[in-house]
Amino acid sequence: MIDMANVFKTYDGGNLALKDITLHVDNGEFVYLTGQSGAGKSTLIKLLFREVLPDSGQIFIAGRSIIRLNNRVTVKLRRNTGVVFQDFRLMENKTVFENVAFALKVLEYPWNEVKEIVPQVLKRLKIADKANAFPRQLSGGEQQRVAFARAVINNPPIILADEPTGNLDPDTSDELMNLFQEFNDEGATVIMATHDKRIVNDTHKRVIALRKGEIIGDHIGGWLL
């Protein structure tokens, strides 16, 4: 499903963020990316939805290189990939409904589909009663549910997350993790950057550990110390 081969990424200013990354993730896997701040986790996630491009190396999703894409194929890639961030990234001047609907509009869904799909997803994620609220009127956990709804609104085969529980308390984090698990159980491939030891050590999943831009470990049920 996802393959990276000899990927290097340097930012302007010469910061080497990723060095010779080669990895394979199967369809339906749930993978944690761990490592201290600055290890390269966010950069790896950003490469997978083309927020940044590598200096060299190859990245394939479902057998297709995502390095050189025209706009039409980039829209298709984004359709297939939902992304959840630590800081939610909701639009403050839009309601919950509008925030989630906007994601479908960007993906060029027609309005008659948008108005059917959004309420269904809000209901499934137990935030239907907040449809007309603005983000500032919600708790952190509720905001992250909205962000999650936006990410999974079209049932993408890949869900990426960058420290999604970073701003949540343990109980709220667990509820969010259950949602990721649910969508993974239904077949989505999940790649989550986190340094939350409690979450990683609580499950028995594949853990890819990064340090200074390199992979230093890749184990099932790997422990974060």
| Chain residues that interact with ligand ADP, rule: CB under 6 A | 11, 13, 15, 17, 35, 37-43, 193
Rounded to whole angstroms, the Cα distance separating 206 from 224 reads 12
Q: Which is nearer to ligand ADP, 35 or 135 (CB)?
A: 35
Rounded to whole angstroms, the Cα distance separating 64 from 2 reads 9
Q: Which is nearer to ligand ADP, 9 or 130 (CB)?
A: 9
Residues 6+ apart with CB under 8 A from 72: none
> Which residue(s) pair with 141 in the sheet?
none
Rounded to whole angstroms, the Cα distance separating 199 from 67 reads 32
What is the nearest approach in angstroms of ligand ADP to the Cβ of residue 59? Answer: 15
What is the nearest approach in angstroms of ligand ADP to the Cβ of residue 132? Answer: 35
What is the nearest approach in angstroms of ligand ADP to the Cβ of residue 221? Answer: 21
Q: Which is nearer to ligand ADP, 79 or 212 (CB)?
A: 212
What is the nearest approach in angstroms of ligand ADP to the Cβ of residue 37? Answer: 4
Q: Which is nearer to ligand ADP, 17 or 84 (CB)?
A: 17
